[in-house]
Amino acid sequence: MTYISLAVAALLVGIDQLTKWLVSTYIQPNSYINLISINGREWLNLTYQENTGAAFSILRDKQLFLIILTSIIILGVIILMVTKRVKKPIYIWSFALIVAGGVGNLIDRIAYGHVIDFVDVRIIKFAVFNFADVCAVVGTIMLILFYIIDEVKESKAKKAKAAEQSEPTEAEVQGPDSSEADE
């Protein structure tokens, strides 16, 4: 399953790079194409932005730091996956999505010195993002969510086991043998 998930991650990186190539080929930097408008209000645009930072443009112009950090995280996650330290399928797929997102944006940082962002949701005030960002965020949310679910299940199981072990046995409840008490 690990290698299948990494192959899917590679496919997702390809989709990410294709979408970024299309945007950078057909839209000028800082320009946009409206995709969805309702009652004259723009809801979704393709907006070509070059982001030299990380999420929400934090660490702007710190490309070397972001390249090194991203590379270490991706390498660490891949090692965890390949050495079979991650066993649960949902965690494997979560990590695969995180790797796909990290690699997609890492390619941009190395090749262009910035990340190409283009999904511009205008119904809420939000940062412009890309397909790699979606992969990384969905993978991270899945990882956190399923980790919490597993922890809650494990905690309930421990409590149930502790309660089961602390319940008195039938002999302890009945007390001394009733036939001895009658004598």
| Close Cβ partners of 30 (under 8 Å, ≥ 6 residues apart) | 47, 48, 49
How does residue 63 score in pLDDT terms, banded at 50, 70 and 90? confident
The pTM assigned to this predicted structure is 0.83
* 61 vs 124: which has the higher pLDDT: 124
Residues marked as catalytic: 117, 133
**What would the two tokens of residue 131 be?**
């397909």
> Three-state DSSP class for 94?
helix
pLDDT in tens, 160-171: 888 888 766 565
42 phi, psi to nearest 5 deg: -75, 130
pLDDT for res 33: 94
pLDDT for res 54: 80
pLDDT in tens, 98-120: 999 999 999 999 999 999 999 99
How does residue 182 score in pLDDT terms, banded at 50, 70 and 90? low
Q: Return mean pLDDT, the chain.
A: 90
Is residue 177 pLDDT above 70, yes or no? no
